[in-house]
Structure 1
């Protein structure tokens, strides 16, 4: 065993203890702020805001289901490597909620593409009623679909993962498609379409200059939300791409005999790409938004001031009632 590879388990522990714990805390704070802000009156009737609220809620649940057992296992037995039932349930709910989050995010991208389109029929997709129907339908879809891959998952030799043989290969292919390739393609395609619409919107012919041609009015808040989503797409691509590549590599080399060093390196790569990195994308949306959009920062400031005012008023009323 090489000296470099032998330090990888220790590095993994440090990444979990300090890195994962940090982004779990920041992610919980940010996602709660997201949910509060996107139910704020200025955002509430915007379909994209509803998608982001739903993505934040499911992302919050998915983040904690995914990371807390890993952090807990640093100093305690990992329930997913001890109990078959816990292994199956954690995989089922982790997969369901994280996929809901990614689906809602893609819906938000589609909504931004639609609202910036010059085609009136495409723009009609960006409606509050459609957003509500989709938000209700997405959990039903993923709770049902996740039942099948869960049957391929089990606890073997202290490892919670795909059953050996064909089941493991099928599960790897499924995860590569639904977690890696399909979300990435959706984000890239609609990200590029959003960019194209943003570039064309200023040069688009106005209705008063050509009969029958209409151009959408893109308000500043809508432009800001589009920019926020575009930056978030880049973050998703960075965090999801290594996971998809790692799964493809595992499927292709499953039958190859590997040395101890190779096993250590692959184990660390699987942890880093399939656990540490991929769940990080649950936690960074709020922090991207606050860095990118001045409007969003202003709304965060207003929310904080209102919360402080409410706390101050309640404290004053309580002191008055006591005296």
Structure 2
């Protein structure tokens, strides 16, 4: 908060970081906290989850091998593959959606001292808007669509969830009617 209080100023109707040192600090900070750290942490923790799942599966092995056990093991492996595919696709989309703003920040640092025409400033402002306000926020909405499109097991689970949710809503709507009819029946006896 203190950093942005000192760093951000309003010049020519634009709120931005105009100080070269603060601009460099912000670019490095953004590259680390939004560009490198999240995908790296997602990959590390997903690899740890996969390793843990493998260890658990190896520890809990049925003594006899029959068709049912092989089929359930096959389903677990397929679910694990789906999970890894979803994670890698999510990381790829995260990198793709945060990269334009990172590139813009580097470009801004390199060209800040150049004299720019009004048109060039407008184009840069538009690119900044698209990169910062639109593309960068896509990574928060994309995981749901990535999971739906890339994982059959996620689609099945989501379908089961909606069926249970719908059944729960239907049963709650029917309960008051059932309760009143039960009360009237007991009163009539």
- TM-score, L = length of structure 2: 0.69
Structure 2 CA distance, aligned partners of 1:183 and 1:259?
37
Residue matched to 1:156:
10
Residue matched to 1:174:
29
Q: 1:256 is paired with a residue of what secondary structure?
A: coil
Structure 1 CA distance, aligned partners of 2:138 and 2:169?
32
Deviation at 1:223, TM superposition (A): 2.0
Structure 2 CA distance, aligned partners of 1:242 and 1:178?
15
- Identify the range of structure 1 (162-171 vs 282-291) with the bigger mean alpha-carbon deviation: 162-171
* Aligned with 1:284 (options 130, 142, 155): 142
Residue matched to 2:130:
272
* Aligned with 2:163 (options 302, 305, 315): 305
Where does the alignment leave 5 or more consecutive residues of structure 2 unmatched? 55-72, 182-189
Q: 1:161 is paired with a residue of what secondary structure?
A: strand
Structure 2 CA distance, aligned partners of 1:163 and 1:152?
10
Cα offsets for 1:230-271 (capped at 9, x unmatched) = 111221121111111111000111111100111011001111
Residue matched to 2:66:
none
Structure 1 residue 254 and structure 2 residue 112: aligned? yes
Structure 2 CA distance, aligned partners of 1:310 and 1:304?
10
Structure 2 CA distance, aligned partners of 1:247 and 1:183?
18
Structure 1 CA distance, aligned partners of 2:42 and 2:87?
11
Cα offsets for 1:34-77 (capped at 9, x unmatched) = xxxxxxxxxxxxxxxxxxxxxxxxxxxxxxxxxxxxxxxxxxxx
In structure 2, relative to structure 1, the CA distance for the partners of 1:311 and 1:219 (3 Å cut) is: same
Structure 1 CA distance, aligned partners of 2:137 and 2:83?
23
Structure 2 CA distance, aligned partners of 1:275 and 1:189?
26
Deviation at 1:300, TM superposition (A): 0.3
Contact 1:240/1:278 (8 A) holds in 2: yes
Q: 1:257 is paired with a residue of what secondary structure?
A: coil
Aligned pairs (5 A) from 1:107-122: none
> CA-atom RMSD, angstroms?
3.1
Deviation at 1:162, TM superposition (A): 2.4
